[in-house]
Chains A and B, each alone.
Chain A
């Protein structure tokens, strides 16, 4: 839906083609687009203004036009600055010298505190640390039951005290953890508005009494310009030490992260990426930067695929590509690898702007992948190695065997041919270097996603 920055900058640079350097007015035009991209991504307006000043300084007079892809060089400047702004490497959680370590989760209503108390507990449990969950949200109906249910799922203890104040509950939890030798206490507090003075004072009291190792601000990644104000008040009153950015599995650009980090200076420690308790990931500034700019999470995708696709497999594939021996067996193999990466839609979401939009339009359906797999599995070995022998009667047999239509077979073969062509040219272009994305991109770039597209 949203256009990525690269698509927006494309036409500007096309207009400038052939000229030497970027002049003031050219930079102005570019910066306007950068500004729009950032505002559309919900980055705070003041942060945007400051940011543009920095980038502009670097872009004026730089010889971006001498590079092959001027848009890319400007985007690189913008991207690098964004990454710098979000702070460098990932920040780890702090632990107490003498247990128990106390983590306190704070934030607005509906940000996802209770769920992320559970996620954090699971994350720690995976690393071998047990947590005691403290249910200090006494206001929202059934918040305590929610935490108790999560505790059951995680097989972790949950501390509650009926009719008690949040401070009593939190202190009780810490005392119990000490008594039972549980190394970590995670305190789930009630959501509150930053303007609610009484409730904010309650948190201050909690913080002063418990002296937690981390005060984690749980923030909804979809928050708009309000993010700055909320984060500032929470930080001023509580001294936030880290941020958990939730609901990043949505299609938001997540610019609020930038605003929050800028205001609090606190590192973003985790990102919530799904409804399951295991969906908690470390934060990568570079990935968020490309997401804000609408350039897809190519890095994540590459890393994910690298994890799954062994070097050996890749080398073998590369051999085949260069000799143009890429067979339907390999195609099937890659299809399966790709499915291991995650549901198709998640993978495609990570592709850069244009492609991911295309994918969204094509409405990828897992069932189509099933069908493709069924078709290939219904072929004989000879047919898979040499699709050229697929005459009408073979196609009819395959269609019957896979429960599809002959048209589906035709489409798949056409698709396969295109992929083979593309992989061949890709591999020759790279001078024998291994292609970065070790699977054929669906179709030759046109909107027809072939076997992956829904009819």
Chain B
């Protein structure tokens, strides 16, 4: 996991749900992550997929990812190139899904001081998010969670824990 990332911001509001991040009608028909990426945020912001660049960072208000447990709502963003999500708070299943898919997520109020298109820097070692107008701190992840992120997600973590090699 990178310890410091800088990226261009896509800013969104409160309570962005998993249906607008990844529509339910695709959840049992699309299995290819690259295909999922083409529908990321389809019902919230149609400009996102056309313009997203690798390393971009989503910055949002409270309760990002509420609603369904669908993991595709994490996968589609990671595969679209999103480097991290910074939100005031996260819905709990989304939080777990992001950790399990090794998509870095940060809980802080950066949404208050940044606009879409600006750059922010996340320093995971220092626990800071630096926007053009302010600096925020966030607490470190619990060791159990950090171990999954550092392994590159729950599948590699589980492989390490069980001492097995991947079939793929």
Chains A and B are bound partners? no
CB within 8 Å of A: which residues of B? none
CB within 8 Å of B: which residues of A? none
